[in-house]
């Protein structure tokens, strides 16, 4: 055999072996998640997901407009986009349950004829001030610029569809991250890994959000991978590559969405524990720490520099939260109490949701099913059952954790707890200040960066069972998630198309 042929065979064999190393349950799960993601991307009408039109406009501003949104003299949305929103009736349909998108095939054909003759100006006049997503960091939008540019020769709605499909790919990485995290936590118990990754990839709201144009899907994936790497470093020890990867992912997550600053304390904890356990020389420790911190700082500082040069806010969400009203610690404590528990007699009423316990109204209802612009919901009674199921699984999982305290690595538990608590603290801090300013901020999907941990808690709950009972419970979880997917899709299809 000649040398080039020999080398090609070797490469093919290596690839084949690598492919065979991907566990069969994960491959099958990824196939199912991809199929569901594509279905969601193609079922939800254009711009019937929170702020999708703003995210599209950001990308259009980068590719066809002046660059980062906010340029004076430009429209927030291009005239092409505004016309597309008109013809598909998307603005009127948003959040108004009785209004439907355009169903007329004749209107659609008319638009296609019109779109063929659209002059270039109608795309390039976007990128002005007033885009609600304009304050976001740019990484996700740069990524979405690729499918946008790839379909730039096509009609407007082809670009929207291509960008949605590109978003779905990040959901696959979220599933992989959840699988790997569970592998570390459950010592590669395949069934428990499948439960963890299954919850992360099959919960309908996660699929819905991940199949739309918006940075959340990329953030979920980066968080999932960072959570895995953090646990891996704590359990197996730190290497330069792993440390750079962990903090680099955190840096990238920050320039996807400012929410990801909440990941920094946990990743620093993981790095610190890893370095402390490595017991390397001081010089080695310093070298590794500097390399890792540089991986965190480089993307963030690069974004700050670009933003400053362009007169763009680099972390608007953070600065807005801290500048909108002062902080009354007593009131903040009362807000936190009333977010999760009923008001006590001596407390002033704080009601950011307009009725009911906010944790239930926002976290439970909007995590289990609030599609479209949150207006597409299951019958109200069903959410009580969802809430009870969440509480049952959560308590069963935590109780299982308590039984394993002696044998478990407490640093791992601390790492995950810090990630959860910091995200919650950041969300509540912002929500409280927005509430003071008279606005509303919190949404259920903001918890989804933690979805791999929710999956792991579900797996922990199932780990109470053994043998056939565990297998049956795993079947029920997967079957239940699939049934919920179908019910959610039927709900969405009925709301928009029947």
Q: Which of residues 15-34 bind other proteins (CB under 8 A)?
A: 17, 20-21, 23-26, 28-29, 31-32
Q: How far is the CB of 96 from other proteins (least distance, A)?
A: 6
Residues 208-237: x/- map of binding to other proteins (CB under 8 A)? ----------------------------x-
Q: What's the rounded Cα separation, in Å, for the pair 224 and 221? A: 5
Which helix (H) or strand (E) element contains residue 251?
Answer: helix 240-254
Q: Return the DSSP state at 68.
A: S
> Given the complex with other proteins, which of 337 and 482 has the nearer CB atom?
482
> Given the complex with other proteins, which of 109 and 348 has the nearer CB atom?
109
- Judged by CB under 8 A, the stretch of 7-15, 156-164, 222-230, 397-405 that binds other proteins is 156-164
Q: How far is the CB of 53 from other proteins (least distance, A)?
A: 13
Strand partners, 371: 376
Longest dimension (CA), the chain: 86
What residues numbered 477-496 form the site for other proteins, per CB under 8 A? 478-480, 482-487, 489-490, 493-494, 496
Q: What's the rounded Cα separation, in Å, for the pair 370 and 206? A: 11
> Given the complex with other proteins, which of 163 and 254 has the nearer CB atom?
163
Which single residue is written with the structure tokens 């995210």?
A: 55
> Given the complex with other proteins, which of 158 and 343 has the nearer CB atom?
158
What residues numbered 86-115 form the site for other proteins, per CB under 8 A? 86-89, 92-93, 96, 98-108, 111-112
Q: What's the rounded Cα separation, in Å, for the pair 300 and 173? A: 22
Q: What is the dihedral of CA 9, 13, 19, 24, to 10 degrees?
A: 130
What residues numbered 233-272 form the site for other proteins, per CB under 8 A? 236
The yes or no reply on residue 152 touching other proteins (CB under 8 A) is no
Among 132, 157, 277, 294, the residue binding other proteins under the rule CB under 8 A is 157
Short-list 167, 208, 179, 182, CA closest to 484: 208
Among 139, 194, 224, 453, the residue binding other proteins under the rule CB under 8 A is 194
Short-list 225, 280, 269, CA closest to 248: 225
Among 9, 12, 42, 95, the residue binding other proteins under the rule CB under 8 A is 42
The residue count for binding other proteins (CB under 8 A) is 82
Among 36, 176, 211, 419, the residue binding other proteins under the rule CB under 8 A is 36
The yes or no reply on residue 467 touching other proteins (CB under 8 A) is yes
> Given the complex with other proteins, which of 436 and 487 has the nearer CB atom?
487
> Given the complex with other proteins, which of 330 and 466 has the nearer CB atom?
466
The yes or no reply on residue 347 touching other proteins (CB under 8 A) is no
Q: How far is the CB of 171 from other proteins (least distance, A)?
A: 14
Tokens of residue 42, six digits: 């193609």
The yes or no reply on residue 474 touching other proteins (CB under 8 A) is yes
Cβ count near 206 (within 10 Å): 26
Question: Alpha-carbon torsion 458, 38, 143, 156, what sign?
Answer: negative
Among 155, 351, 375, 409, the residue binding other proteins under the rule CB under 8 A is 155
How distant is the alpha carbon of residue 238 from its chain centre? 27
Tokens of residue 56, six digits: 């599209």
Q: What's the rounded Cα separation, in Å, for the pair 100 and 92? A: 8
The yes or no reply on residue 473 touching other proteins (CB under 8 A) is yes
| Cβ–Cβ < 8 Å for 460, 399 | no
Spell out the residues 6+ positions from residue 392 whose beta carbon is closer than 8 angstroms to its own: 461
CA distances from 273 to 234, 267, 276, 347, 438 (A): 6, 10, 5, 41, 42
> Given the complex with other proteins, which of 447 and 491 has the nearer CB atom?
491
Q: What φ, ψ does residue 34 adopt, rounded to 5°?
A: -65, -45
Among 35, 391, 395, 398, the residue binding other proteins under the rule CB under 8 A is 35
Q: How far is the CB of 188 from other proteins (least distance, A)?
A: 4
Q: How far is the CB of 459 from other proteins (least distance, A)?
A: 11
Among 146, 149, 169, 191, the residue binding other proteins under the rule CB under 8 A is 191
Burial of residue 38, with CB atoms counted within 10 A of its CB: 0-12 exposed, 13-18 middle, 19 or more buried? middle
- Judged by CB under 8 A, the stretch of 188-196, 352-360, 414-422, 450-458 that binds other proteins is 188-196
Q: How far is the CB of 189 from other proteins (least distance, A)?
A: 8
> Given the complex with other proteins, which of 23 and 132 has the nearer CB atom?
23
Q: Could you tell me how many residues make up the chain?
A: 498
Short-list 166, 118, 137, 175, CA closest to 58: 137
Q: What's the rounded Cα separation, in Å, for the pair 106 and 127? A: 31
Residues 424-463: x/- map of binding to other proteins (CB under 8 A)? ----------------------------------------
Q: How far is the CB of 24 from other proteins (least distance, A)?
A: 4
Q: Return the DSSP state at 364.
A: I
């Amino acid at each position: 055999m000649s040398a080039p042929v020999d080398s090609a065979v070797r490469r093919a064999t290596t690839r084949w072996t690598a492919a065979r190393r991907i566990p069969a349950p994960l491959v099958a799960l990824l196939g199912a998640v991809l199929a569901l993601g594509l279905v969601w991307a193609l079922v939800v009408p254009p711009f019937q997901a929170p702020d999708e039109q703003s995210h599209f406009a950001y990308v259009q501003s980068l590719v066809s407009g002046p660059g980062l949104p906010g340029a004076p003299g430009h429209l927030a949305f291009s005239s092409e986009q505004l016309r597309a929103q008109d013809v598909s009736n998307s603005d009127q349909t948003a959040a108004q349950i009785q209004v439907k998108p355009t169903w007329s095939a004749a209107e659609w054909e008319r638009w296609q004829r019109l779109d063929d003759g659209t002059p270039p100006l109608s795309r390039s006049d976007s990128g002005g001030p007033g885009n609600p997503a304009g304050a976001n960091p740019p990484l996700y939008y740069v990524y979405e610029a690729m499918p946008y540019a790839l379909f730039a020769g096509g009609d407007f709605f082809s670009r929207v569809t291509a960008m949605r499909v590109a978003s779905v790919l990040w959901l696959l990485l979220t599933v992989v991250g959840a699988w790997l995290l569970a592998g570390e936590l459950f010592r590669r118990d395949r069934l428990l890994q499948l439960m963890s990754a299954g919850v992360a990839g099959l919960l309908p709201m996660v699929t819905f959000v991940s199949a739309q144009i918006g940075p959340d899907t990329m953030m979920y994936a980066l968080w999932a991978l960072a959570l895995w790497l953090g646990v891996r470093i704590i359990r197996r020890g730190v290497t330069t590559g792993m440390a750079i990867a962990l903090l680099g992912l955190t840096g990238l997550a920050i320039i996807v969405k400012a929410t990801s600053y909440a990941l920094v304390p946990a990743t620093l904890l993981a790095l610190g524990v890893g370095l402390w356990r490595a017991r390397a020389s001081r010089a080695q420790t310093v070298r590794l720490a500097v390399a890792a911190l540089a991986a965190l700082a480089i993307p963030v500082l690069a974004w700050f520099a670009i933003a400053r040069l362009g007169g763009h806010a680099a972390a608007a969400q953070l600065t807005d939260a801290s500048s909108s009203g002062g902080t009354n610690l007593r009131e903040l404590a009362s807000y936190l109490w009333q977010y999760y528990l009923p008001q006590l007699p001596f407390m002033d009423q704080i009601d950011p949701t307009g009725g009911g316990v906010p944790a239930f109204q926002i976290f439970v209802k909007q995590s289990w099913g609030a599609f479209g612009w949150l207006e597409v919901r299951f019958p109200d009674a069903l959410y009580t059952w969802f809430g009870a199921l969440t509480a049952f699984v959560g308590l069963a999982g935590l109780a299982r954790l308590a039984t394993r305290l002696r044998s478990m690595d407490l640093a791992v538990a601390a790492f995950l707890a810090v990630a959860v608590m910091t995200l919650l603290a950041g969300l509540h801090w912002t929500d409280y200040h927005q509430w003071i300013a008279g606005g509303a901020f919190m949404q259920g999907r903001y918890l989804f960066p933690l979805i791999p941990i929710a999956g792991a808690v579900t797996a922990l709950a199932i780990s109470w069972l053994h043998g056939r009972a565990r297998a049956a419970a795993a079947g029920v979880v997967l079957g239940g998630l699939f049934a919920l997917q179908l019910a959610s899709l039927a709900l969405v299809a009925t709301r928009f198309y029947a």
